[in-house]
């Protein structure tokens, strides 16, 4: 009976059953085989509702969906071009900052490629950059903002870590710790762009203060969003759920009543789409935490640590293996699913090696955002292939050099924890 139930779960996974049903089935079979009352499953789902951080998740997601449906992307690109077009590699920096800012606000890498790709790819080519470089830059830049507040992956990592009751992980610490790594990634790709395109004839756009001020006036309302988030975080006056509520209300007002990019009739559809995503995340999170309890009861993290310790004798070697594993996971799993499923296994082991849980969160998200365009199955590769009507092989050759640039930054993030935790401490 036990074997047949296990096989049933495995067959369901192979046939493409929803992820939450596979995790729930696995947890149910595991608890039943361990003779633990199955009431633990609904209890775990209920326990999730006690976490006040969960309020922030739907609010930030709703704000992100509103921004993705508006003309925010156009205004950001126009402002960046007016302000930075005079710099060497200015259009590269514009693309990087525009994508990072938009991903930061919307929380979705693929959304950024779809929304900004049609603007940035022609603009880069018209500025004199090669087609291969422009294609690779836009595809790679799509996930750059996942380390910047209000980063949904960092919020989710904090929720999972707090539910495990083994680490005191503050969401604000995660947000602060993500700044320097995100900035390093942007700067490293800009420098790579300057070097790789040094032989191209790239004209510079003269700086015109009048044009900058005009574009600034158009984008002023949206530029205030990160100031609201950062002001709330750094002042200490607001908790993350307060900041999420204020941000969602502010974005709703400016996009519907100030810019009027979104009509009131569109709001129910946008709200429904955003809550579908949140519902999926919460459903997976609830059953995954129940499955985590099963793993703890079976002492799986302790056994994993014993196995790793027997084969990996140093913290640095563990971190290197962790980076490699996370890159593979990032290529085959959505970042939210990976966070929910893998963090409960990795976090206890990492803490045994003396790795700070905030540092681990930054390492995790940094690797996963590179996984988005890691061959052969990174999600951004397929989104860009569909968006730009290019073959996957073209995307591989265009993004691989930039992937190695960002991998060097990830290694720096991994092996220099003081740099990541500087402002946190």
338-375 per-position pLDDT tens digit: 787 788 888 888 888 888 999 999 999 898 888 878 77
- The end-to-end CA distance of the chain, in Å, is 53
**Residue 16 shares a structural domain with residue 134:** no
Instruction: Kindly indicate the confidence band of residue 188, based on its pLDDT and cuts at 50, 70 and 90.
Output: very high
User: In whole angstroms, what is the distance from residue 33 CA to residue 5 CA?
Assistant: 10
* Helix/strand/coil for 86: coil
Residue 282 pLDDT more than 70? Answer: yes
Q: What would the mean pLDDT of 227-234 be, rounded to a whole number?
A: 78
**Domain that includes residue 341, residue range:** 39-421
User: In whole angstroms, what is the distance from residue 199 CA to residue 411 CA?
Assistant: 29
pLDDT at 359: 92
Q: Where are the beta strands (DSSP E) in 48-158?
A: none
The pair of three-digit structure tokens given for residue 176, joined into one six-digit string: 């602060």
The pair of three-digit structure tokens given for residue 386, joined into one six-digit string: 């569909």
Residue 72 pLDDT more than 90? Answer: no
Q: What would the mean pLDDT of 212-237 be, rounded to a whole number?
A: 81
Q: What would the mean pLDDT of 315-328 be, rounded to a whole number?
A: 84
**Domains in the chain: how many in total?**
2
**Residue 246 shares a structural domain with residue 293:** yes
**Residue 9 shares a structural domain with residue 49:** no
**Residue 62 shares a structural domain with residue 10:** no
**Residue 60 shares a structural domain with residue 16:** no
Percent of the chain as helix, strand, coil, to the nearest 5: 80, 0, 20
DSSP state of 258: I
**Residue 18 shares a structural domain with residue 63:** no
Q: Which is nearest to 120 in space by CA: 106, 145, 102?
A: 102
Q: What would the mean pLDDT of 150-164 be, rounded to a whole number?
A: 81
Tens digit of pLDDT for each residue in 103-129? 777 666 566 776 677 777 877 787 778
pLDDT at 181: 92
Per the CB < 8 A criterion, the answer to whether 336 and 153 are in contact is yes
**Residue 161 shares a structural domain with residue 190:** yes
Alpha carbon dihedral 350, 353, 356, 358, in 10-degree steps, equals -10
**Residue 14 shares a structural domain with residue 86:** no
pLDDT at 51: 65
**Residue 211 shares a structural domain with residue 141:** yes
pLDDT at 5: 52
**Residue 63 shares a structural domain with residue 3:** no
- What is the total residue count of the chain? 425
Per the CB < 8 A criterion, the answer to whether 11 and 5 are in contact is no
**Residue 148 shares a structural domain with residue 283:** yes
Kindly report the average pLDDT of the chain as a whole number.
79
**Residue 13 shares a structural domain with residue 74:** no
CB within 8 A of 26, min separation 6: which ones? 9, 291
């Amino acid at each position: 009976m036990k074997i047949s139930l296990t096989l049933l779960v495995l067959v369901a996974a192979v046939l493409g059953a929803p992820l939450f049903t596979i995790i729930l089935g696995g947890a149910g079979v595991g608890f039943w085989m361990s003779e633990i009352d199955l009431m633990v499953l609904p209890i775990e789902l209920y326990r999730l509702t006690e976490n006040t951080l969960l309020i922030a998740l739907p609010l930030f997601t709703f704000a992100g969906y509103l921004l993705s449906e508006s003309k925010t992307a156009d205004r950001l690109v126009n402002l960046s071009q007016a302000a930075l077009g005079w710099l060497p590699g200015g259009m590269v920096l514009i693309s990087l900052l525009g994508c990072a800012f938009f991903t930061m606000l919307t929380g979705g890498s693929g959304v950024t490629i779809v929304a900004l790709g049609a603007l940035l790819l022609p603009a880069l080519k018209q500025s004199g950059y090669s087609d291969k470089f422009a294609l690779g830059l836009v595809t790679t830049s799509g996930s750059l903002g996942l380390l910047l507040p209000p980063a949904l992956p960092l919020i989710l990592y904090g929720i999972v870590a707090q539910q495990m009751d083994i680490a005191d992980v503050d969401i604000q610490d995660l947000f602060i710790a993500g700044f320097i790594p995100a900035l390093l990634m942007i700067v490293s790709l800009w420098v790579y762009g300057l070097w790789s395109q040094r032989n191209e004839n790239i004209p510079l756009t003269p700086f015109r203060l009048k044009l900058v001020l005009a574009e600034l006036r158009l984008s002023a309302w949206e530029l205030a969003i990160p100031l609201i988030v950062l002001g709330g975080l750094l002042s200490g006056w607001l908790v993350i759920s307060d900041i999420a509520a204020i941000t969602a209300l502010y974005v709703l007002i400016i996009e519907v009543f100030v810019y009027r990019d979104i009509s009131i009739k569109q709001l129910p559809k946008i709200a429904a789409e955003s809550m579908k995503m949140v519902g999926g995340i919460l459903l997976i999170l609830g059953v995954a935490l129940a499955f985590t309890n099963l793993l703890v009861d079976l002492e799986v993290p302790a056994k994993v640590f014993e196995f790793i310790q027997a084969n990996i004798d140093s913290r640095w070697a563990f971190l290197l293996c962790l980076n490699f594993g996370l890159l593979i996971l990032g290529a085959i799993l959505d970042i939210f699913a990976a966070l929910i499923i893998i963090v409960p296994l990795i976090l206890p082991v990492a803490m045994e090696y003396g790795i700070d849980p905030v540092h681990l969160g930054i390492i995790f998200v940094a690797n996963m955002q590179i996984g988005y365009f890691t061959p052969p199955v990174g999600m951004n590769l397929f989104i860009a292939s569909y968006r730009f009507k290019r073959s996957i092989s073209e995307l591989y050759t265009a993004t691989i050099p930039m992937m190695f640039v960002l991998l060097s930054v990830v290694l720096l993030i991994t092996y220099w924890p003081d740099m990541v935790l500087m402002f946190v401490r």
